[in-house]
Amino acid sequence: MIRRLVVTFVILTTVVVAALGGLTAAWLAGIRVPIASGTTYMEIQKLAAADAAGAPTNMFFIALVGSDFRPGVGGARGDALHLVGVNPTTHIATMLNVPRDTCWQGGKINRAHAQGGPRGMANALGELTGVPVSYVVSVDFAGFQGLVDGMGGVQINIPFPMDDENSGAAFAPGDQRLNGAQALAFSRDRHDFPTSDIQRSGNQGLLILSALGQLQREARSAVGEFKAAALIGRHAQLDGMGLGDVYRLGRVAQQLNPAAARSVTIPVGGGSCLPLIGDARGLFADFADDATLQAH
């Protein structure tokens, strides 16, 4: 289950993981892909923990952050929070979905973005779960829609009817292709579900994994590779990263197995500030040791 106002996920695992594979392929082929030569849809920042990642066989963690920033609305809280662990040895990726109102340091964890931007949000997620975050990918509403449209839409099998005037989600169950506006509406819908934001977070996870599988399938062709490369090359702002980082991430991304990927929402209780419940700490430890869940 899942939630968050911004569907940063879809393209996060989509463009950061799969599109980086396309960018790498283009770079290896000698194609010069300009960085952020168009409208910036997202930022990819390298954090200090990435320096310890070392060899390409070492696991690493990526924070996917969607902020609620848009014209006419003040603030920029971290309203879509996902933490992806990548194990290059087993070619498995695991994603933890963190509700925005999860308790952290006496308040809601989403405030970390307003206080410290994407890096501050990534550090808060790392502190909560006990993992070293190496990269953070961040988008806002407009950037998310631009990325999805740049992909040509996202193919997803919607498992239930959705009809929410607040988010604009109006979908019958079944396999369909969503454009940027529709994908955002799908990922923001919480009023259709008794568990509200928790279900919304799960829905966003479904969207991300669907996008990852789609990008990897399409990137098997030369046209698909270049399309993915151009999308991230023209619309991603890199911070603290060089071609070496892009190359490493892209090579790992190309080898990931979408069928083995898992999306799990962390267990939280009720209230204004959602406390961790159940075996949350055990879940984090299981995730931290090899970026894979064996006992959860």
Q: Per residue in 197-231, pLDDT tens?
A: 788 878 888 888 788 778 777 766 666 666 666 66
Rounded to whole angstroms, the Cα distance separating 278 from 270 reads: 13
Predicted confidence band of residue 9 (pLDDT cuts 50, 70, 90): very low
Which pLDDT value is given to residue 266? 95
Which pLDDT value is given to residue 238? 81
Over residues 112-159, the pLDDT tens digits come to: 988 888 999 999 999 999 999 999 988 877 778 888 888 889 999 999
DSSP state of 268: B
Rounded to whole angstroms, the Cα distance separating 257 from 36 reads: 28
Indicate the average pLDDT of the chain.
78
Q: Give the residue ranges of DSSP H helices in the chain.
A: 8-11, 20-28, 111-129, 141-150, 180-188, 197-218, 222-235, 243-254, 280-290
Look up residue 234 and give its two tokens. 């023209």
Sign of the alpha-carbon dihedral angle for 190, 195, 201, 202:
negative
Predicted confidence band of residue 243 (pLDDT cuts 50, 70, 90): low
Rounded to whole angstroms, the Cα distance separating 65 from 238 reads: 15
Question: Residues 151-177: what's their mean pLDDT?
Answer: 93
What are the chain's domains?
Answer: 8-267 (3.40.630.190)
- What 3-state DSSP class applies to 56? coil
Question: Residues 169-188: what's their mean pLDDT?
Answer: 93
Which pLDDT value is given to residue 139? 82
pLDDT at 102 over 90: yes
Question: Residues 30-58: what's their mean pLDDT?
Answer: 62
Which pLDDT value is given to residue 222? 61
Q: How many angstroms separate the Cα of 164 from the Cα of each of 1, 170, 171, 192, 272?
A: 17, 6, 9, 6, 23
pLDDT at 11 over 60: no
**Proportion of the chain in helix, strand, coil states, percent, rounded to 5:** 45, 25, 35
Q: Which long-range contacts (CB under 8 A, 24 or more apart) does 186-190 make?
A: 186/7, 186/156, 186/158, 186/162, 187/4, 187/5, 187/6, 187/7, 187/9, 187/10, 187/80, 188/4, 188/5, 188/7, 189/162, 189/164, 190/3, 190/164
Over residues 74-86, the pLDDT tens digits come to: 567 777 899 999 9
Rounded to whole angstroms, the Cα distance separating 246 from 23 reads: 8
Which pLDDT value is given to residue 232? 66
Rounded to whole angstroms, the Cα distance separating 130 from 114 reads: 21
Look up residue 214 and give its two tokens. 């789609």
Which pLDDT value is given to residue 74? 58
